[in-house]
Amino acid sequence: MNLKQLSHTEERLVEGHRLCAGCAEPIIARQVLMATDKPVVVANATGCFEVSTTIYPFSSWNIPWIHTAFENAPATMSGVEAAYNSLKRQGKLDQEIKFIAFGGDGATYDIGFQSLSGAIERGHDFLYVCFNNEAYMNTGIQRSGATQKGASTTTCPAGSCVPGKREFPKDLTRIIIAHDLPYAAQASPHNWKDLIEKSKKGIDTPGPAFINVISPCPRGWRHDGSQTIAMSKLAVETCVWPLYEYENGVWRLTGESLRIAEGSREKKPVSDWLSSQGRFKHLMKGKFTSVADEIQVNVDKKWESLLKLCKN
């Protein structure tokens, strides 16, 4: 798929949303939706994206769209997909329709994990996309299971005794892969080709698919809104957010992560990533610099583990 082809695709998420300037979520959603020319039904968990694209009586959605609660977008989409299959069996519908659910990290890593796990285990044919902005941004920048260690949030603020969040984020992509689903991946909006290709695989693969996408948030991460794409690229270049896919049991690095593994691209230090965001400024000097060192060690450990998986 090239840019000329993409320029002729139907706009399924149109102008008029109220997302913050520099928000990565509409960029990600538009790229995902460009990956298919088939009719699409979308379920959207409660969160920034849901609230800001559907300010009553307006909507930025140009396709069938369902708002669900924080915790049950996968269950909702399971029901829609099951109804669709029933109608096809009855001969009442012969159109090929694709199903996509969107949710933030709060709705995916935490509140909606049970629903997502169940839908994948049952084998429903849909793509789930996580906007990973590493906190509950819609309700005030509270920490989530995706929040990086050392990040200052409203529920784990950095102070004289506590260096922000004390725990490392859970590795949800690997947790999802443990379900042995047909397709799962990590992606970033800065590499549009990689994200669209992975979305197409996820949409076209029979059965459940999952894509975890890094989604910089200027408000919560404390970076300038003009730097969103640069921030997502830096996450990949430091291996904080490696690009890879899992397809029918095979692990593969993609994009810049593949080039880093091959030695043709530099692996940047995690300090470049931390120093670019206000939420980590307390780790750059003073008593909490050791936390930055711990993050680097953890990133290196996870990267080496991923390299081994992708060589098998």
**How confident is the model over 159-216, as pLDDT tens digits?**
999 999 999 999 999 999 999 999 999 999 999 999 999 999 999 999 999 999 999 9
CB 171 within 8 A of CB 301: no
CA distances from 165 to 51, 170, 266 (A): 27, 13, 29
Residue boundaries of the structural domains of the chain: 3-311
pLDDT at 158: 97
For residue 2, name the pLDDT band (cuts at 50, 70, 90): confident
Q: Which residues, in sequence order, are bridge partners of residue 13?
A: 61
User: What is the dotted CATH code of the domain comprising 3-311?
Assistant: 3.40.50.970
Residue 5: pLDDT band with limits 50, 70, 90: confident
Please give the mean pLDDT across all residues of the chain. Answer: 96
In this structure, what token pair is assigned to residue 94? 């012969």
The 10s digit of each residue's pLDDT in 48-84 is: 999 999 999 999 999 999 999 999 999 999 999 999 9
CA 89 to chain centre: 34
Taking the alpha carbons at both ends of the chain, their separation in whole angstroms is 29
Share of the chain above pLDDT 90, in %: 95
Q: How far apart are CA 274 and CA 279, in angstroms?
A: 8
- Residue written as token pair 């694709």: 98
The band of 9, judged by pLDDT with boundaries at 50, 70 and 90, is: confident
CA distance 243 to 258: 8
SS3 70: coil
Give the angle 123-146-301 at the CA atoms, nearest 5°. Answer: 95
In contact, 171 and 133? CB cutoff 8 Å: no
Residues 10-26 have a mean pLDDT of 93
Q: CB of 235 within 8 A of CB of 295? A: no
**Is the pLDDT assigned to residue 312 strictly greater than 70?**
no
Q: How confident is the model at residue 4 (pLDDT cuts 50, 70, 90)?
A: confident
pLDDT for the residue 277: 98
Write the DSSP string, 184-218: EEEE-TTSHHHHHHHHHHHHHSSS-EEEEEE---H
Q: Mean pLDDT over residues 128-151, rounded? A: 98
pLDDT of residue 7: 74
What integer is the mean pLDDT of 104-126? Answer: 98
**Over residues 209-229, mean pLDDT:** 98
Give tens-digit pLDDT for 231-285: 999 999 999 999 999 999 999 999 999 999 999 999 999 999 999 999 999 999 9
- Find where tokens 């290709």 sit: 197
- Helices (DSSP H) in 59-146: which residue ranges? 73-89, 105, 113-122
Residue 26 C-beta-side C-alpha neighbours within 13 Å: 19
| Predicted pLDDT at 1 | 65
Residue 303 predicted with pLDDT over 90: yes
Q: Is the pLDDT of residue 154 over 90?
A: yes
Per cent of the chain over pLDDT 70 is 99
What average pLDDT does range 4-16 have in this prediction? 83
The per-residue DSSP string of 134-165 comes to SSBTTTT-B--TTPPTT---SSS-B-SS-BS-
Task: Label residue 10 by pLDDT band (50, 70, 90).
Answer: confident
| Residue 233 φ/ψ region, left for φ over 0, alpha for ψ in the -120 to 50 degree band, beta for the rest | alpha
